[in-house]
Amino acid sequence: MSAGRIAWIDHAKGIGIILVVMSVAALGYGAPEGGVNWMIGLADWARPFVVPAFFLIAGLFLHRGLFGSAPVYFDRKILRLAYFFALWLAIETVILNAGAFSQGLPGLARLYFNGLVAPQSPLWFIQQLFLFYIVTRAIRRQKPARVLAAAAGLQILAAAGLFQFGWSVLDHFAANFVFFYAGYAGASLAFGFANKAVNRLRDLGWTLVVWAGVHTAFVAMGIAGLPIVSLILGFAGTFALISAGVLLARIPAAHFIGDAGRQSFAIYLGFFIPLQLLLALVKMSGIFADTGAASLAIAAATLMIALGMHRLAMETPLRALYVRPRIFRLKPSQASGRGSLLVAPTQPDA
């Protein structure tokens, strides 16, 4: 493991990215008419907590730059995400919309602009992080308790259908900002929980069993998306994911999950294109009689391809797909402004 990394975070992120790819594969493959796809059941089970967990974990280390230099924050948080979002949206637009070439450059430009305004692929997650970093920087002097209360209220309204603008950007923001901000404001709680859990692995295992049973019951009853319930399940599932990360970090055989977690951003950027191509190929071939098995095979292949793409690209000029070139970074002199006198609470390094 690289120096400075935290094992349970890598494993929690690894579980999360694997569930994301499996869910997208299942929903993309769908179910046969009059039949079922058991992988869609897994996607429904994971939906209440996977995205909230990703956003909460993303907020855990926000204290490092939130109260520092504005240019540095802009470069490392906002400009970085804008670069990858714009780049991969362009790649997806060209590769996944081959038919648009008949409309010429204006047709592709229109599709690209539509993707900027309302992403249809999983890149919406990158766009939301971009917005979360901007908003959190703007409100950093507000009392965290007030912001959390307002964000929780917004999430409850969204779950109740009372905050639906029909624009995915605002709808996603309302549903998820509370988890990102909670990761920042409650970082000490999350790290404290994980540190104590390391010494109580047996209790942790039983707690996960109980959580899984309760969570499954809510999903099976079809009430996991209700107001307040969805908020509670989001936080409970996130801490369950942290617990699972703590457990798996102690198991050598689970190292591949930690590896996936360490490369989760690269996987997230690169998985959607091969997944869509594999979906089309497998559907045309008809080699799988069971749709669940087909979805699982596509997900597994997609993960391996995404990791392989990253590894190969890093040895070539294509590493710009995953590492922002200097030309797209602020110069050191531009990013060396003075920080605020406000001091954020210290947290463990990752």
For residue range 74-96, what is the model confidence (pLDDT) as tens digits? 999 999 999 999 999 999 999 99
Q: Is the pLDDT of residue 344 over 60?
A: no
What confidence score (pLDDT) does residue 100 get? 72
**Average pLDDT over every residue of 24-30:** 95
**Main-chain dihedrals φ then ψ at residue 200, nearest 5 degrees:** -135, 55
334 confidence band (pLDDT: 50, 70, 90): low
Which carries the bigger pLDDT value, residue 164 or residue 148?
A: 148
**Average pLDDT over every residue of 321-343:** 71
Distances (CA, A) of 343 to 65, 228, 339: 10, 33, 10
**Average pLDDT over every residue of 258-275:** 97
Q: Is the pLDDT of residue 349 over 50?
A: no
Query: By the 8 A CB rule, do 181 and 148 touch?
Result: yes
d(CA 151, CA 82): 24
Q: Is the pLDDT of residue 230 over 80?
A: yes
What confidence score (pLDDT) does residue 18 get? 98
Number of other CB atoms surrounding residue 94 within 10 Å:
15
d(CA 215, CA 193): 20
332 confidence band (pLDDT: 50, 70, 90): low
Tokens standing for 284?
């045309």
In sign, the C-alpha dihedral spanning 264, 234, 193, 349 is: positive
Burial of 151 (0-12, 13-18, 19+ CB in 10 A): buried
Distances (CA, A) of 201 to 98, 196, 208, 248: 51, 9, 10, 10
Q: Is the pLDDT of residue 211 over 60?
A: yes
In the chain, what percentage of residues exceed pLDDT 90? Answer: 83
pLDDT digits (tens, 9 = 90+) for 1-22: 444 579 999 999 999 999 999 9
What confidence score (pLDDT) does residue 31 get? 83
DSSP secondary-structure letter at 344? P
Q: Is the pLDDT of residue 227 over 90?
A: yes
Q: Is the pLDDT of residue 157 over 90?
A: yes
104 confidence band (pLDDT: 50, 70, 90): confident
Number of other CB atoms surrounding residue 147 within 10 Å:
20
CA atoms within 13 A on the CB side of 127: 20
Mean pLDDT of the chain: 91
- The ranges assigned to domains in the chain are 7-324
d(CA 180, CA 151): 10
d(CA 298, CA 144): 42
336 confidence band (pLDDT: 50, 70, 90): low
Number of H helices, E strands in the chain: 16, 0
Q: Is the pLDDT of residue 340 over 70?
A: no
First and final C-alpha spacing in the chain: 11
Tokens standing for 276?
């869509």
What confidence score (pLDDT) does residue 119 get? 92
